[in-house]
Amino acid sequence: MVTRGFTGRRQPPETGARLPPGQYLTQDFPILQIGPNPTIDLATWEFTLRDGSRPIKSWSWEAMLALPRTRWHGDIHCVTKWSKFDTQWEGVSFDDLLADAGTAAPTDFLLAESYDDYSTNIPVADLVGGKAMIALLYGGEPIHADHGGPARFFVPHLYFWKSAKWLKGLRFTKTDTAGYWELRGYHMYGDPWREQRYIGD
Amino acid sequence: MSSATSAIEAPAPEPLVFHWHEAEVAAVTAITPTVKSVRLRCAIAGRQRAGQHVDVRLTAADGYRASRSYSVASVPDGSDTIELLVEGLPGGEVSSWFFETAEVGDRLELRGPIGGSFSWDGPDGGPLLLAGGGSGVVPLLAMLRRRAQVVPDLPAALIYSVRSRAEAIALDELEARDRDETNFSLFLRTTREGEGRRVDAALVEAALDRVGAPGKVFLCGSNRFVSPTADLVVAAGVPPAVIRTERFGA
């Protein structure tokens, strides 16, 4: 179905090739979240890896800072249709976190859980092998609370709602278990290149 | 709201699937120098909760498509249309089509309504505190329209920050509600005329004094508006769990 009089604003080819379907390029860094920024004190900040309800290991802020670092440079894509190019992040890779915990992933899925009671599900296969990190720096600086600091999940090959802000832990689940938005009609996987915005896409 | 724990234990909900539907422009009316009311005739009219949005998709003759999200301003009213309030943003790929090209009878696609978090209905209970910046008032307008339909005595207040009265969306309607409706108060702040004041702690306190402890707080606008306003509401003692935000732009 064609809409009369609509021509659209085509991207230059070099931009278009980097934009997943339905996305547009933004220069700013829009902010989307369900509520206010939670109050987080680094003195009591704690990150916990869990297998279901069983804690595997917890890290204080100092302990997290002491882990090996990974840097990532590239493009991020939000389900609300903006994409931002050439962002730089630094943090602790999922692989290094598991290594420090002395464990392999006990299940094939997990929920990333946040200080504001947000959660989102990701398959473990999408996190291992350098594909995800606990991000601690954005553009070389501590991550502003508006963007999920002090620590946010970072899974850049999926829509950015999977990169949970104000991360407080990762919980392995036996099955792929819907998180906050996935319970509200958003896609269980969220691949921007297949435009998986909502269930059924 | 669903905590992480209840998400694990909750039974699987009915899957929500958002299909694309054809829609037809039923009316286009300028309501401010920068905002037009667009009525769309569509199959999903009447299904929306106040505060939800729809995705609109336009397709060019060569198949190129663009889609954007718009809050629904109308509430289920027995008609087969929904109302969007579209701001004519310079260079806006979809908004400029609505603003400059759209005429009655034009066809497009939409899907939704979308957004369970930023939505409200009468049975949700408790006083309502609303705060909108600029066109962020649109989903809040829907909530006030719904309140008038189903719980007209519910205490409610709207803090509305806008550059000037001329740019305020639905100002006549909001001032009439403030005058005529029991227990509703409008707190208008113009940032670029009069005293040019922004929302501050005193204004948030005044609005909270009027409504009492809110059952829900909804904040919508640019992040420059929403982030400091959310902090003010939290500082005034409102539990963060009752505060819901929706933001656009930088």
Tally of CB atoms within 10 A around A120: 26
Res. B129: pLDDT tops 90: yes
Secondary structure of B66-77 in HEC code, one letter for each residue: EEEEEEECCCCC
Q: Kindly report the backbone phi and psi dihedral angles of residue B22, in degrees, each rounded to the nearest multiple of 5, phi listed first.
A: -75, 145
Q: Looking at the structure, tell me whether residues B136 and B85 fall in a common domain.
A: no
Residues A63-90 have pLDDT tens digits of 999 999 999 999 999 998 999 999 999 9
Closest CA to A122 of A158, A71, A83: A158
Positive or negative, the CA dihedral A196, A198, A199, A201 is negative
Q: Looking at the structure, tell me whether residues B196 and B129 fall in a common domain.
A: yes
Residue B44 in domain: yes
Domain extent at residue B30: 21-114
Give the CATH number of the domain where residue B168 resides: 3.40.50.80
CA A18 – CA A84 distance, rounded (Å): 10
Q: Looking at the structure, tell me whether residues B58 and B147 fall in a common domain.
A: no
Nearest to A34 among B16, B91, B117 (CB): B117
Cβ pair B132, B161 in contact under 8 A: yes
In the predicted model, what is the mean pLDDT of chain B?
A: 91
Residue B105 in domain: yes
- The count of domains in chain B is 2
Q: Exposed, middle or buried: residue B112 (CB in 10 Å: 0-12, 13-18, 19+)? A: buried
In the predicted model, what is the mean pLDDT of chain A?
A: 95
Chain B residues in contact with A9 by the CB 8 A cut-off are: 66, 91, 93
| CA A25 to chain centroid | 19
Residue B14 in domain: no
Q: Looking at the structure, tell me whether residues B73 and B191 fall in a common domain.
A: no
Q: Final residue of a domain: which of B54, B80, B114?
A: B114
Res. A182: pLDDT tops 60: yes
Nearest to A34 among B59, B114, B245 (CB): B245
Nearest to B66 among A8, A171, A179 (CB): A8
Q: Which CATH number fits domain A45-194: 3.90.660.10, 3.40.50.2300, 3.90.420.10, 2.60.40.1120?
A: 3.90.420.10
Give the CATH number of the domain where residue B100 resides: 2.40.30.10
Closest CA to A127 of A151, A156, A150: A156
At B4 the pLDDT is 35
Q: Looking at the structure, tell me whether residues B76 and B184 fall in a common domain.
A: no
Q: Final residue of a domain: which of B95, B114, B133?
A: B114
Chain A residues in contact with B69 by the CB 8 A cut-off are: 80-81
Res. B9: pLDDT tops 60: no
pTM to 2 decimals?
Answer: 0.88
On whether any CB of chain B is under 8 Å from the CB of A42, the answer is: no
CA B212 – CA B208 distance, rounded (Å): 5
Q: Looking at the structure, tell me whether residues B83 and B129 fall in a common domain.
A: no
Q: Is the ipTM of this complex over 0.85?
A: no
Closest CA to A133 of A159, A161, A155, A101: A155
Residue B30 in domain: yes
Cβ pair A6, B64 in contact under 8 A: no
CA B182 – CA B156 distance, rounded (Å): 9
Residue B5 in domain: no
Q: Looking at the structure, tell me whether residues B244 and B129 fall in a common domain.
A: yes
Nearest to A24 among B93, B116, B233 (CB): B93
Q: Looking at the structure, tell me whether residues B218 and B133 fall in a common domain.
A: yes
What is the nearest CA distance from A51 to chain B, expressed in angstroms?
Answer: 12
At residue B16, the 3 state secondary structure works out as: coil
CA B221 – CA B102 distance, rounded (Å): 25
**Which of A3, A24, A33 is the best residue to mutate to test the B interface, defined by the most B CB atoms within 10 Å of its own CB?**
A3
Q: Looking at the structure, tell me whether residues B104 and B31 fall in a common domain.
A: yes
Residue B10 in domain: no
Q: Looking at the structure, tell me whether residues B92 and B142 fall in a common domain.
A: no
Residue B7 in domain: no
On whether any CB of chain B is under 8 Å from the CB of A54, the answer is: no
Residues B200-238 have pLDDT tens digits of 999 999 999 999 999 999 999 998 999 999 999 999 999
Q: Final residue of a domain: which of B71, B97, B114?
A: B114
Res. B8: pLDDT tops 50: no
Residues 1-40 of B with CB under 8 A from A: 1-4, 7-8, 10, 12-13, 15-19, 22
Q: Looking at the structure, tell me whether residues B33 and B130 fall in a common domain.
A: no
Cβ pair A83, A19 in contact under 8 A: yes
CB contact under 8 A, B59 and A22: no
Q: Looking at the structure, tell me whether residues B241 and B138 fall in a common domain.
A: yes
